[in-house]
Amino acid sequence: MAVSVFNLFSIGIGPSSSHTVGPMRAARQFVVNLQLNDMLVDVHRIKMELYGSLALTGKGHSTDIAVLLGVEGNAPEGIDPRDVEPRIKWIRENCKISLLNSRLIEFQEEVDLIFHSDKQLPFHPNGMRFTAFNTCHREISQEVFYSVGGGFIVDHHAAMKDETICQNDHHLPYPFKTADELLLLCKKHNFSIAELMWENEKSWRTEEEIEIGLLNIWNVMQTCVKHGCEKEGVLPGGLNVKRRAASIYRYLQEQELKPLEKRDRAEVIDWVSLWALAVNEENAAGGRVVTAPTNGAAGVIPAVLHYYEKFIKNSNSKGIITFLLVAGAIGILYKEGASISAAEMGCMGEVGVACSMAAAGLAAALGASNEQIENAAEIGMEHNLGLTCDPIKGLVQIPCIERNTMGATKAINAERLARLHGDGTHRVTLDQVIATMKQTGHDMMSIYKETSQGGLAVNVPEC
| CATH for 28 | 3.30.1330.90
Torsion angle (degrees, nearest 10) of CA 195, 196, 200, 206: 10
The CATH number of residue 444's host domain is 1.10.4100
Q: What angle do CA 196, 412, 286 make, to 5 degrees?
A: 85
Q: Give the span between the Cα atoms of 49 and 131, in whole angstroms.
A: 9
Do the beta carbons of residue 153 and residue 29 sit within 8 Å? yes
Query: Domain limits at 326?
Result: 179-448
Inside any domain, residue 462: no
pLDDT at residue number 463: 59
pLDDT at residue number 162: 58
Inside any domain, residue 459: no
Exposed / middle / buried, residue 443 (Cβ in 10 Å: 0-12, 13-18, 19+):
exposed
Given its phi and psi angles, is residue 313 left (phi above 0), alpha (psi -120 to 50 degrees) or beta? Answer: beta
pLDDT at residue number 169: 65
Inside any domain, residue 168: no
Inside any domain, residue 129: yes
Q: Examine the domain organization and report whether 327 and 260 are in the same domain.
A: yes
Mean pLDDT by 10 residues, the chain (463 residues): 92 94 97 97 97 93 97 95 96 97 96 95 94 96 95 86 56 97 98 98 98 98 98 96 98 94 94 98 97 97 98 97 98 97 96 98 98 98 97 96 98 98 94 98 96 94 71
| Alpha helices in 95-178, H assignment, sequence order | 109-112, 156-161
| Alpha helices in 285-350, H assignment, sequence order | 300-311, 317-337, 342-345
Inside any domain, residue 457: no
Q: Examine the domain organization and report whether 40 and 74 are in the same domain.
A: yes
Q: Examine the domain organization and report whether 196 and 104 are in the same domain.
A: no
